[in-house]
Amino acid sequence: MLSLAAASFPIHHNRLILYRTTPSPPFTVRSSASGGVQEIQESFTPPPSTPQDGEISSELFVSAPFPPIKGAKRVVLVRHGQSTWNAEGRIQGSSNFSVLTKKGESQAETSRQMLLDDSFDICFSSPLTRSKRTAEIIWGDREEEILTDSDLREIDLYSFQGLLKHEGKEKFGDSFRQWQLDAPNFSIDGHYPVRELWARARNCWDRILEHESRSVLVVAHNAVNQALVATAIGLGTEYFRILLQSNCGVSVLDFTPRAEGGSPYICLNRLNQTPSSPLASGGGRKASKRIVLVCHGTMQGSAGDQGMNMLGIIQFVFFGYLQSQKIAELLLDLQVSTIISSTEDVSVDTSVAISRVQEAADCLGADCVPRYVELKRSKDLDATDILQQLNEEGSEGQLLRPGFLNRFDDESLSALWDQSGKAWETLLNEVSDESDPEKVAVVVSHPAVHIALMGHCLKLTKEWMGSFHLDAGSISVVDFPDGAAGRGVIRCINYTAHLGRWAIPITRPTADDEEF
């Protein structure tokens, strides 16, 4: 029997967010039926251990509102460096028997160098040795004490911990297979590890946001960092293993207070920015199909802007050219099959620069045959309505702040969302070509379009678009380890290191700076 009552607490990002935790008696979910928000009380029944074919169970508990914040806050998540059990292929879970390898120490030192000039007020760390040591290396000689939080430990995997993967398969059979194929519903020793992890991550956010700090470093683990990102932007346990976290990969979340108080606005500024190229293997399953989203070159005004003198035009063109060349050089690690761009000039110019470098990459001898890269253009990748509003309001580059899509009217966002949905279907068809077993498609367009494309990849709705941010010249990578018909795995979002030392600051540059 269901009882309904009016609910009035703030809904995070104005959308329904439900999280599942371990089985317990009655729970509360929120329903937006009939245009209003309703509260439903009912008893919890654990889902079957194996879902129906192709179905992802997402019966999740409601997330309590995030605590209000007084000012803008940025949280930087870092996964620990390579550990001895990483290298051995052992299942670590929340065990504390592995330590950093020499490679792991070196990765942590590289992260320290990259974050050396960034301003952090506090560091939270998992208490496990591999994470705590990484935090100590990155934190360096800063005076503030590192705060350890037990809820930041890695996912609890109980009887699996310490086993090599083949041992887990041999010893646990169907249970291990469920862990591989249906982790959100995986249970062992009377526990649902992924559900417990999501609950822990949500608890961590209360302590992180309630701390009197504006810039926070969090050093933890692969699974828990995935859960922190997911719970922050409102994604359930079915997104486990979809948001990749490599060793010492950096993810950044921006929290902005609401004028009326309550849960802050939350934006994922970048995901899994690593010291090495985002195109190199490292973490995650091997994929033969890949889509690389390239945000076209500089958007600091336009060469056609009224009042721009000849020097300004030359600087604009030259800076845009340099960005395009740096993007093209980064993509040399790939054999690109197709480049699809919007019809806008800046996207076309960037795609041509990439294709020229790709086609010349293998042509070092007199008798060589240049690699052929197919160039295509698609109006479905244009950002006409968004660009029009940006041009009406001023310099586009200054307006592309985290969560900038929140400020546009619903009609423009709906048009962008519907148009990008068509583009996403086209891209999936492009990479599904079985005649090319290593299909890599590069897509060049405006950041707003790429945000929408990632939303379609993650099977979200247009209301989520304000939860992601991309910068001009950035790279985002989507892998398809199960082929184009399978789920896309986000390898990285908003990678900018190829443009310079991090290019876009990870944290605010000075303690007194009011803007990130």
90 is in an annotated binding site: no
Cα three-residue angle 444-273-193, rounded to 5 degrees: 115
Instruction: Return the closest-CA partner of residue 480 out of 451, 435, 437.
Output: 437
Is the Cβ–Cβ distance between 402 and 454 less than 8 Å? no
Token couple for 195: 């559900």
323 is in an annotated binding site: no
- Cα 245 to its chain centre, rounded Å, is 9
Is the Cβ–Cβ distance between 209 and 69 less than 8 Å? yes
d(CA 230, CA 236): 7
DSSP string, 448-472: HHHHHHHHHHTT--GGGGGGB---T
Token couple for 70: 């007084």
Query: CB atoms < 10 A from the CB of 167, how many?
Result: 14
237 is in an annotated binding site: no
104 is in an annotated binding site: no
d(CA 88, CA 103): 13
DSSP string, 200-265: HHHHHHHHHHHSS-SEEEEEE-HHHHHHHHHHHHT--GGGTTTB---TT-EEEEEEE--TT-SSPE
d(CA 224, CA 243): 11
Is the Cβ–Cβ distance between 219 and 243 less than 8 Å? no
d(CA 495, CA 477): 9
Is the Cβ–Cβ distance between 423 and 378 less than 8 Å? yes
User: How many CA atoms lie within 13 Å of 490's alpha carbon, on the beta-carbon side?
Assistant: 31
Is the Cβ–Cβ distance between 4 and 15 less than 8 Å? no
Token couple for 72: 């803008």
79 is in an annotated binding site: yes
- The 3-state DSSP class for residue 62 equals strand
Cα three-residue angle 103-107-108, rounded to 5 degrees: 120
Residues with active-site annotation: 80, 154
84 is in an annotated binding site: yes
- The 3-state DSSP class for residue 313 equals helix
83 is in an annotated binding site: yes
- Quickly list H helices, 377-500: 384-393, 396-399, 410-431, 447-457
Is the Cβ–Cβ distance between 295 and 446 less than 8 Å? yes
d(CA 99, CA 241): 23
d(CA 30, CA 18): 8
- The 3-state DSSP class for residue 134 equals helix
Instruction: Return the closest-CA partner of residue 337 out of 245, 218, 442.
Output: 442
285 is in an annotated binding site: no
Can you say which residues are annotated as belonging to the binding site for substrate? 79-86, 130, 165
Can you say which residues are annotated as belonging to the binding site? 79-86, 130, 165
